[in-house]
Structure 1
Amino acid sequence: MANHEKINYLEFPAKDLNKVRAFYEQAFAWQFTEYGDTYLAFNDGIFDGGFYQAEAKSTQQSGGVLVVIYTSDISDTEQKVLAAGGEISTPVFPFPGGKRFHFKDPNGNELAVWTDKD
């Protein structure tokens, strides 16, 4: 079975589900399904996950897992993140194999974007 013991779903906390939904729809064109007032499921075109209503946030500093999104145009994606209301927490930096930046969504969850393109 190809999916046996593979990561299948991620969940993030979100204080304000409406703000988080608007951010990810605008920045990354994610699709959402509401499940009551306290849960939003998402699909990014490949992967499924969700946001549950909570005061918490996930950051590297607090020990949270860093979710990394791939892009073929890091400058364009950085501008989309900013235009949607995200905050750049670590500016673009090189690493072996590419470059990336970290951002915080409107709830304060930290994610990263990387590319292997110049």
Structure 2
Amino acid sequence: MKKHQQINYIEMPSQDLEKTKAFFNSAFGWTFQDYGPDYCDFHQDGIDGGFYRIDLAMNQEAGSALIVLYSDNLEASEKAVVDAGGEISKPCFDFPGGRRFHFREPCGNEFAIWSES
């Protein structure tokens, strides 16, 4: 449900839309709708969003926002990321409220996945 003045959609860079789509489909089962050669979007149970073609990548250390996904099984999610061609950029660590790891998808965008246990 859309809520007034709440984050509703997020757009992220991709150096190669086909690689990005293949990674997220393989790792997490996301599906995409193409809107021309330079944009695609996804609609999930969480926030919706899209990827646009550009020669940049999100990196938290460079000041980009960090997109964090939730997992019921952190170890299974980590395996899915690696099996789909992602690279673990920060191994699993504890933080107040749970555990998480950071990864880069094949085009270099950094994401994190967290779990309560």
TM-score (normalised: structure 1):
0.95
* Equivalent position SS for 2:26: helix
Contact 1:29-1:44 within 8 A present in 2 as well = no
* Equivalent position SS for 1:31: coil
Deviation for aligned residue 1:62: 1.1
* Counterpart code for 1:32: F
Structure 1 match to 2:74: 74
* Equivalent position SS for 2:90: strand
TM-score (normalised: structure 2):
0.96
CA RMSD in angstroms, aligned pairs only: 1.2
What are the ranges of 5 or more consecutive residues in structure 1 without an aligned counterpart? none
* Counterpart code for 1:111: F
Compare 36-45 and 73-82 and name the one that shifted more.
36-45
Identity of aligned residues (%): 46
Contact 2:57-2:109 within 8 A present in 1 as well = yes
Residues matched between the structures, number? 117
Contact 2:33-2:41 within 8 A present in 1 as well = yes
* Counterpart code for 1:87: E
Structure 2 match to 1:91: 91
**Displaced runs of 4+ in structure 1, greater than 3 A?**
none
* 1:37-76 equivalent positions in 2, closer than 5 A: 37-76=37-76
